[in-house]
Chain A
Amino acid sequence: DTAVSQTPKYLVTQMGNDKSIKCEQNLGHDTMYWYKQDSKKFLKIMFSYNNKELIINETVPNRFSPKSPDKAHLNLHINSLELGDSAVYFCASSHGNRGPWETQYFGPGTRLLVL
């Protein structure tokens, strides 16, 4: 009965590799997000999709490419991984129709370590 799920939970990889993180929500929400939480625990939004359409695209290197095949899924593909990409990546979702009072529901996070 997991609401927002992410795979993999842990990802250890070499610099220069390409990797993907998958996210799925079964809450029927229209909006999904990707956040990065770095070693200093600062949680920063990267992307937001509403009904498969990109609505927030923060200043993120274009090595990061989100893909939303349907409104229940938002995957994150990262090309040419760098040491600084090491962080915890959280997927989240929200209803998408409640304006600024949207509650965010987070997945368990994917711990990425780039060696």
Chain B
Amino acid sequence: RKEVEQDPGPFNVPEGATVAFNCTYSNSASQSFFWYRQDCRKEPKLLMSVYSSGNEDGRFTAQLNRASQYISLLIRDSKLSDSATYLCVVNGNRDDKIIFGKGTRLHILP
């Protein structure tokens, strides 16, 4: 099983729709989880951290399921500007090694 695995997409979604991504991780000892966003030919930027109790930031909701070792990102009322690649990030062992998934590409269609 890969350390961090994501569906590469692309997800082509009409504007206004709700879209959800999942990400699975292999190391049950992983401590922290994040979603980053990377626009085309740009650097990754933190979208949100993912806490055990789940957290919400506007139209974005992140959830963690430790038992099944996956995290999810839900985007409601999607906008054209949400088009990007969404990277799942897991911070692993005591050496603080950070592992990025390959990303899921999202295209919001007008």
Contact = CB atoms under 8 A, between A and B. Distances in A.
B74 to A, nearest CB: 21
A90 interface: yes
A13 to B, nearest CB: 20
Given A100-B32, A106-B43, A45 B49 contact: no
A43 B104 CA distance: 13
Contacts of B91: 100-102
A113 to B, nearest CB: 14
B30 to A, nearest CB: 8
Contacts of A43: 44, 87, 100, 103
A45 B45 contact: no
B56 interface: no
A99 to B, nearest CB: 8
A104 B49 CA distance: 11
Interface string B78-109: 00000001010001000111111011000000
A103 interface: yes
A90 B44 CA distance: 9
Residue among A42, A102, A104 with max Cβ neighbours from chain B (10 Å): A104
Interface size class of B (residues with CB under 8 A): 20 to 34
Contacts of B97: 45, 56
A41 B103 contact: yes
A101 B51 CA distance: 10
A109 B39 CA distance: 12
A55 interface: yes
Given A107-B43, A108-B42, A55 B95 contact: yes
B46 interface: yes
Interface in B1-51: 31-32, 34, 36, 42-46, 49
Given A104-B46, A106-B45, A45 B98 contact: yes
A41 B102 contact: yes
Interface of B: 31-32, 34, 36, 42-46, 49, 85, 87, 91, 95-100, 102-103
Interface of A: 35, 40-45, 48, 55-56, 90, 99-104, 106-109
